[in-house]
Structures are given as C-alpha cells and as structure tokens.
C-alpha cells in the first residue's frame, strides 16, 4: 500500500539554526499538510498546500516557517531560525483527489525535531 515517507526520522539541531524536514507524499495525491505534536500535547495543524501554493495556515505557521514542493515528489517544511519550543514531532500528510471531499488524510511516521 502506498505510504507517506518522511526523512529524517530524528533531527537534532542547535537553537537558531535552519532545519528542513522532508516528505514524499503518496504519488497521486494533490493536497499536502504539515502537522506537529509537542510532547504531551495535541496534534496541531500547521499548513496545507495545494496547486503549488499555501491554501491554509494556522497561527503557529509564522514567518519562521515555509513550505515548498521543489520537484514532483518532495514536500518540505523549513524552519529558518529554530527555537527551543519548535521541538516536536512533525507529521506530513497527504490527501487524494476524488469526487468525494470526504477522504482521509494519510500521515507519515513523523520527524522528531529536537532543538538544543
């Protein structure tokens, strides 16, 4: 069964450094998402991406964050200058096109980001 893949599985970065998290969505999916889960908290929506542009973003997704689909397969989340509070699990998800809008999002296994 096709799946969303994320790399790396664990990223350790010094505070203030830039980090790029990578995702390969399921190949025929057109909608892409980033969510995060801080330890002990809920899974939170960050951003959605469709047709090569951001379609929706949360208040968490400030100017430090950006997303890109640099080629036909990868979808990346960049954090420009990381802060301690950016430490979390980051999940990528994708969502298929179809006649029904009621389709589930499919999640990758996440990248654990640890900011030191």
Partner 1 sequence: DQQVKQNSPSLSVQEGRISILNCDYTNSMFDYFLWYKKYPAEGPTFLISISSIKDKNEDGRFTVFLNKSAKHLSLHIVPSQPGDSAVYFCAARAQTSGSRLTFGEGTQLTVNP
Among 56, 74, 78, 98, binds partner 1 (CB under 8 A): 56
4 binds partner 1 (CB under 8 A): yes
65 binds partner 1 (CB under 8 A): no
45 binds partner 1 (CB under 8 A): yes
Listed in sequence order, the residues at least 6 apart from 91 whose beta carbon sits closer than 8 Å to its beta carbon are 6, 34, 35, 36, 37, 43, 107, 108, 110
Residue 96, both tokens: 């298929």
Burial class (CB in 10 A: 0-12, 13-18, 19+), 107: middle
39 binds partner 1 (CB under 8 A): no
In the bound state with partner 1, the residue whose beta carbon lies nearer, of 84 and 101, is 101
Rounded least distance, CB 81 to partner 1, Å: 25
Rounded least distance, CB 110 to partner 1, Å: 5
Burial class (CB in 10 A: 0-12, 13-18, 19+), 71: exposed
Residues touching partner 1, count (CB under 8 A): 24
């Amino acid at each position: 069964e096709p799946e969303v893949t994320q790399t790396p599985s664990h990223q350790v970065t010094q505070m203030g450094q830039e980090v790029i998290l990578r995702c390969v969505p399921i190949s025929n999916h057109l909608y892409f998402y980033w969510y995060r889960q801080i330890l002990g908290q809920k899974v939170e929506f960050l951003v959605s991406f469709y047709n090569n542009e951001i379609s929706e973003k949360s208040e968490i997704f400030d100017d430090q964050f950006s997303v890109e689909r640099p080629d036909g397969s990868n979808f990346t989340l960049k954090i420009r200058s990381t802060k301690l509070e950016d430490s979390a699990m980051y999940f990528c998800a994708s969502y298929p096109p179809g006649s029904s809008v009621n389709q589930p999002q499919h999640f990758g296994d996440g990248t654990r980001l640890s900011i030191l």
